Chains A and B, each alone.
Chain A
Amino acid sequence: MGEDIKIGVQTKGLIEKREDIAGVFRMIRDAGFGFVDFSLDSYYTNPAVSPKGSGEFFMQDTQELLDYFEEHRTALKEAGLLCSQVHAPYPVYVERRKKQNDFMENEVIPKCFAIAESLGAPYMVIHPSKVRYNKNGSIEKEKELNLKYFETLIPIIKETGVKVCFENLYETGEEGIIEGPCADPREALYYIETLNERAGEECFGFCLDSGHLNLIKRGFADFASILGEHIKVLHIHDNDGVADNHQIPFTFRGIGQTGNGVDWDNYLQSLHAVSFDGVYSFETFTVLGGFPGSLRPAALKCIYEVGRYFASYTSMGTGLLK
């Protein structure tokens, strides 16, 4: 363990109100983090998933948006933080919502690339679209739609240097949680290899979401062995195996490992097996809403220490902190 450990946390829930941005980034820095996952998805809650959704923010032109985030960029720099990844708004495509889909494809996502580039982010997570459960939908139709769309992003990826990562997703069905796009590592590999081949270079990678994987009851070992070095980005968080709680690791099991929390040993062994050397990035925004505001620094510090443990484990194969 040395100075090279890379630990990050998402900005969701911390910066949207635009109050004391510099103070927020200092708080993240003071907790120990060196990186942030910039949650652009917080700026556009899609009407498809939220009745309050509005795309108003992204109706500003690109320069206005870059001006808006200049304060964030400066604050990040002053705090000594780097932006390791950006999360784009989602979903990009919803059946029978052509106007909205056009807005997402032609306005929101291209503007996110510009913002990500200005923040210095090397990766942006974009959810692959869900079509398989639509009436007349299928996994094949979903693949066709996603490949067609993501191929259109190759020029902007090359232009901005911001690579796209697919994320393993779930869907809420009538009988509970079911698999969504990229929940099967072979499917994710198919997307990544096909698109990288079409791009002629590595433009696409994978974001491994620990909580989503726990919800669909798949193990990490398959993901690690099949996707290997394509795993570029992490979304680390825990849940009860039923809801997407986005909480601190180790808080969903009890005495004798009862409960349905993430199997963190399995997770860390899998990352160790592929020699993961990226940023240990926590997607734990719920923590910041769940704990009282005055406890945010303490909660962030605890999350950071979990990150140190994870980085230690995966680099050395043990959890011994030095």
Chain B
Amino acid sequence: MRTGLQYNIHVTKNEIRNAGIDILGAEYEEYPFAGSAAVVRISHSRLEQAVLDGALDDLSLCGAEVLVIETIGLKDAREAEDLLKLLIRCAPGFKDRGLAVCIENGYAEEAGKIYRGALGDGTALAAFLGSLNEKAGEEMFGAAFNVGCARLLRLQITEHMKALGKKIRVLYLSDNDGRYDLRQMPYTFTTVHSTNCAQWEEILEYVSSLPEEIFVIGDIRGTFASSPAELKGSFLDLFAAVLEEWNSSTKDRQITLPIEDVK
């Protein structure tokens, strides 16, 4: 498991590194400021133009290993079909440059109401990936699972992760109150004895059963956007401790857990 943080402009690279955290992910728009990151995320709505602009060459030159396609705002089957066609068109380019591509679960929003949209749940995303890989003729597309997006939809998170199983190559750690996409620190919405929050313990246990190569990335820009500059270091230190806990805990569990039949 490789762990780190999604770069965001609310903290500096030095602050992140001083906390002992790797910059593992970046948004496509912020990628030049991140320096380098193994996992780069781009919105589905920007993908076509970015490819035309030569983004794939830029990313591979900068050492990106995985391109994540964010699907927030993808409303229905028709839009999903359009995305599928675009990805198939781009597939040779991804392959030539050695970029693994993962599709992220998202949500859609209309008039302030959040709903699943085309790829909001694990089952829909798994089916989409099945069609995509079939058309590509090989297993070249994987899944990026965003805990925060699933929480926002109030899904039973591990059930949706299980629907994707080993297809999950990237896990974004993010938390919220089930109302707003806050991109906050894991555990900060956890209430003891309540199921109305992300069940981090279950998530951690399931992640332990996934292949070791998974990227686990803190997608917590909301923490840094909403806290004063003086406290960013303290929140980074706390997140560093969370990552350390995940690293040591998954190692322990990988040793002690029975081998699970992961889809």
Task: Please report which residues of chain B, range 172-202, place their CB below 8 angstroms from some CB of chain A when the two chains form the complex.
Answer: 176-177, 179-185, 187-192, 200-201
Surface stretch bound by B, among A77-85, A127-135, A142-150, A297-305: A297-305
Question: What is the interface of chain A, defined by CB distance below 8 A to chain B?
Answer: 240, 242-243, 245, 247-248, 250-261, 286-287, 289-292, 294-295, 298-299, 301-302, 305-306, 309, 312, 319-321
Question: Which among A247, A258, A312, A320 is the interface contact of B180 at CB below 8 angstroms?
Answer: A258
Chain B residues with Cβ below 8 Å from A292 are 187, 200-201, 245, 249
* Cross-chain contact B245 with A240 (CB below 8 angstroms): no
Interface residues of B (CB under 8 A from A): 176-177, 179-185, 187-192, 200-201, 221-223, 225-231, 233-235, 237-238, 241-242, 245, 249
Minimum CB distance partner of B174 in chain A: A254
Write 13 A-B pairs (CB below 8 A) sorted by A numbering.
Answer: A240-B177, A242-B179, A251-B223, A252-B177, A254-B222, A257-B225, A258-B181, A259-B176, A259-B179, A286-B190, A301-B234, A302-B237, A320-B230
CB of B238 within 8 A of CB of A321, answer no
Residues of B within 8 A of A256 (CB): 225
CA–CA, A299 to B242, complex, Å? 10
Chain A residues, CB < 8 A from B176? 254, 259
Question: Does A251 lie within 8 Å of B188, measured CB to CB?
Answer: yes
- Cα of A1 to Cα of B226 in the assembled complex, Å: 24
With contacts A254-B180, A254-B183, A298-B237 taken as known, whether A309 is within 8 angstroms of B231 at the C-beta atoms is: yes
A260 CA to B179 CA, complexed, in Å: 10
Q: How far apart sit A289 and B201, CA to CA, in the bound complex (Å)?
A: 12
Q: Is the CB of A258 within 8 A of B182?
A: yes
Highest count of chain A CB atoms <10 Å: which of B191, B226, B242, B245: B226
| B-chain residues with CB within 8 Å of residue A261 when the two chains form the complex | 226
Partner of B231, one of A245, A250, A253: A250
Residues of B contacting A320 in the complex (Cβ-Cβ under 8 angstroms) = 230
Residues of B within 8 A of A295 (CB): 187, 238, 241-242, 245
Contact present for B184 and A252 (CB under 8 Å): yes
Q: Which residues of A contact B242 (CB under 8 A)?
A: 291, 295, 298
Q: Tell me whether A247 and B189 are in contact (CB under 8 A).
A: yes
The CA-CA distance from A290 to B191 in the complex, in Å, is 6
A287 to B190, CA, bound (A): 8
Identify B182's interface contact among A259, A289, A301, CB under 8 A: A259
Contact of A253 among B182, B233, B245 (CB under 8 A): B182
From the candidates A255, A291, A319, name the one contacting B187 in the complex (CB within 8 A): A291
Known contacts A286-B191, A302-B238: does B222 contact A255 (CB below 8 Å)?
yes
Please, which residues of chain A bring their CB within 8 A of the CB of B182?
252-255, 258-259
Contact A242 B177 (CB under 8 A): yes
Are A259 and B177 in contact (CB-based, < 8 A)?
A: yes
- Expressed in whole angstroms, the Cα–Cα distance for A105 and B173 within the complex equals 48
Residues of B contacting A298 in the complex (Cβ-Cβ under 8 angstroms) = 237-238, 241-242
Whole-angstrom CA separation of A36 from B251 in the bound complex: 36
State how many angstroms separate the Cβ of B24 from the closest Cβ of chain A.
20
A17 to chain B, nearest CB (A): 14
Q: In the complex, A242→B176 CA distance in Å?
A: 13
A146 to chain B, nearest CB (A): 30
> Given that A253-B182, A254-B184, A302-B238 are known contacts, is A290 also in contact with B192, CB under 8 Å in the complex?
yes
Complex contacts, B200 vs chain A, CB 8 Å: 292
Does B225 lie within 8 Å of A290, measured CB to CB?
Answer: no
Q: How far is the CA of A248 from the CA of B187 in the complex (A)?
A: 10
Cβ of B221: which chain A residues have Cβ within 8 Å of it? 254-255
Residues of B within 8 A of A299 (CB): 238, 241
Contact status B226-A257, CB under 8 Å: yes
Known: A259-B177, A294-B245. A251 touches B185 (CB 8 A): yes
From A242, A290, A301, contact of B237 by CB (8 A): A301
User: What residue of chain B has the Cβ atom nearest to residue A239's Cβ?
Assistant: B177
* A297-B191 Cα distance, complex, nearest whole Å: 18
Knowing A250-B226, A255-B222 are in contact, say whether A240-B188 is a contact too (CB < 8 A). no
